[in-house]
Chains A and B, each alone.
Chain A
Amino acid sequence: MSTLTVTRRTRLSTVVLILLAPILIALIAAPWWAGRADLRLMGEIALYMSLATLWNLLAGYAGLVSVGQQAYVGLGGYLFFALTMLAGIDPYVALPLAALAGAVIAAPVAVLIFRLRGAYFAIGTWVMAEVFRLSFAQVSALGGGSGTSLSASIVRGMADGRAAREAMAWWLALGVAVLVIGAVVLFLRSRQGVALTAIRDNEVAARSLGIDIWRSKFIVYVVVGGLTTLVGCLIFLQKLRISPDAAFSVNDWTAFVIFIVVIGGIGTIEGPIIGTLVFFALRETMADLGTLYLIALGLVAIVIMLKAPRGLWGFLRDRYNIEIFPLSRRVTGLNKGA
């Protein structure tokens, strides 16, 4: 006879969590073993992984399908440039300040666009991003429509020498990815996260249990807005140059991110991570194809949405009942040996 217990851990999740420490240490040490181009690529991967994880929290868990997250990426880039170049604030102080400002700006935006439902909400977020783009194009101190470059003195002030700067850019990107993924996992395990999962599964049932649906979604939207702004800062710190069209590009910051999440598996933590790796593997091998590559990506996303709407990870999880991040509860002791 065995007693029944409820646990979130599985053998795989324990193994991965133990492996996580050495993997992280190896990643932190990357500047000593990776080449310059690789380091740059890895930084980009870390930032896309963060964007995908955040979008997945919005769309996959909170049911807020946004096609306007470029609003916050661009906002982050512009805030970072403005705070460091116009206000003369130290870059390391500017990063958390910009994130905070992003969250503060996201609040009234949420109040307004939450009036739109479903797909109209999606296009509403896009209108917001356009408003941001057109507004920043009017700011002549930041180069207006043609944009501006981050002044060399600020870049030099962040670290001594080129190698140190590149290492710093990587550590910041890695740090944000760890922060974002960690925050989302902890959030989903919290009371709020359980409420969110309940809303996703059945909104009426969740409401009857006393969950304030509007408030739950509002918190998610604002937190995601702030963190996306932070990722935006780092993206344009890497690029060193910003313009309205690049900062608020729907293709770069939303379309790719959506494809990543759909291919990896929406509504899972693992999906965006796997999706990002697949996306970059495809990009590194097929980028020469240019527009054909984008057409192929769109086709793959459509086929996955129609044939396997839960993506690569959803397929693996359904088939082998595995989970890397301990989120869902399982009963053990029911069928010993099975």
Chain B
Amino acid sequence: MDWINAVIQGVLLGGLYALFAAGLSLIFGVMRLVNIAHGDLIVLSAYLALTVTTALGLHPLLALVIVVPGMALVGYTLQRAILNRTMGDDLLPPLLVTFGLSVIIQNALLAGYSADPQKLQAGEIETASVALGSIALGVMPLIVFATAVVVIAALQWMFYRTALGRAFRATSDNQDIAQLMGLNRAHVFGLAMGLSLAVTALAGVFLGMRTSFDPAAGSARLIFGFEAVIIGGLGNLWGTLAGGVILGVAQTLGAKINPGYQILAGHLVFLAILAIRPRGLFPRIDG
């Protein structure tokens, strides 16, 4: 029974990882950009939510109303002001610039909030659970997982059913022709990054409600998100959800064997999948 419980908790944890990953997957799909600062932006969202909740006395979930549009704006500005200048055939500039951003965000958070671990206080909902037979399911993990499913379904719908999605797909297929057809590439990229960071904001707030976080917590979140993307296969959003779930289950099962193995087990499953299926389980596009 303990093992079944570990698997179910892992699946729910996978929802959070899918939220970490969805933003990465989105911008890679639209502009082949890999954002090394993604994890630090997740943590930045958590700190933003912390400031909003303490300043206005809001519940963290209500703080989303401010944090999500705030991060979307940050994303659009960041893309237009800095990242668009790095886009091109050479992969080094975007990589090194986002790496520089990662160091800047981390140290700015360290200077502003100190290295003390923080947590978003969510009250009763943190410990609430529903019983399923002899297994207790946390209400918060269920909300996170449901949100991940809704976010991915919404992104999928946006990609294939809306004008914005059409613009994203056109730019992804061929930037120059999209530009000729009247799309402003710089604006489309800005929107993609804005959307990516809106999802990141959700992930950051849920992260902050689930565990304590500190300025250095970003790199692990980047790595989890990246692993979920690769396990699921590049460019496949539902695959990313599956990747997150596989990673989450691997971690909770690893922790069940020995608490010291939790993170390691996730990495090893990722490497095993990389060895057996280099393009991930459900690939859509080539890296």
Contact = CB atoms under 8 A, between A and B. Distances in A.
A122 B34 contact: yes
Nearest to B215: A291
Contacts, number: 119
B263 interface: yes
A294 B111 CA distance: 11
Contact of A123 (B103, B111, B226, B263): B226
A330 to B, nearest CB: 25
A26 interface: no
Contact of A306 (B82, B108, B270, B271): B82
11 contacts: A67-B99, A112-B275, A116-B287, A119-B95, A126-B219, A127-B271, A250-B219, A291-B110, A302-B96, A305-B97, A306-B85
By Cβ-Cβ distance, the 9 closest A-B pairs, closest first, are A119-B34, A115-B278, A298-B104, A298-B103, A291-B107, A298-B100, A302-B100, A134-B264, A117-B287
B166 to A, nearest CB: 26
A258 B36 contact: no
Interface string B75-115: 00000001001100001111111011101100110110000
Contacts of A168: none
Nearest to A306: B85
Interface of A: 59, 65, 67, 112-113, 115-120, 122-124, 126-127, 130-131, 134-135, 137-138, 250-251, 255, 258-259, 262, 266, 290-292, 294-295, 297-299, 301-302, 305-306, 309
A291 B92 CA distance: 25
B214 interface: no
B135 interface: no
B95 A251 contact: no
A112 B272 CA distance: 9
Given A137-B260, A295-B111, A127 B223 contact: yes
A298 B101 CA distance: 7
B222 interface: yes
Given A119-B95, A302-B82, A305-B100, 4 more contacts: A120-B34, A295-B111, A301-B100, A309-B92
Nearest to A293: B107
Contact of A134 (B230, B267, B287): B267
B96 to A, nearest CB: 5
A117 B34 CA distance: 11
Contacts of A113: 274
Interface in B212-267: 219-220, 222-223, 226-227, 230, 260-261, 263-264, 267
Nearest to A294: B107
B96 A258 contact: yes
A305 B111 contact: no
Contacts of A290: 111
How large, as a class, is the contact surface on chain B? 35 or more
A203 to B, nearest CB: 11
A251 B274 CA distance: 26
A175 B100 CA distance: 31
Contact of A292 (B92, B95, B111, B274): B111
B267 A120 contact: no
A200 to B, nearest CB: 11
A122 B267 CA distance: 15
A255 B103 contact: yes
A306 B86 contact: yes
B268 interface: yes
A301 B100 CA distance: 7
Contacts of A295: 103-104, 107-108, 111
A122 B91 CA distance: 11
Nearest to A119: B34
A157 B278 CA distance: 48
Contacts of A294: 103-104, 107
Interface string B25-65: 00000000110100000000000000000000000000000
A170 to B, nearest CB: 30
A309 B95 CA distance: 13
B138 to A, nearest CB: 26
A116 B273 CA distance: 12
A320 B239 CA distance: 52
Nearest to A126: B223
Contacts of A120: 34, 226, 230, 287
Contacts of A262: 96
Contacts of B93: 305-306, 309
Contacts of B33: 119
A67 B36 contact: yes
A122 B271 contact: no
Contact of A127 (B85, B108, B267): B267
Given A120-B34, A258-B99, A112 B274 contact: yes
Given A305-B93, A306-B82, A130 B104 contact: no
Nearest to B93: A305
A146 to B, nearest CB: 13
A119 B223 CA distance: 13
A119 B34 CA distance: 6
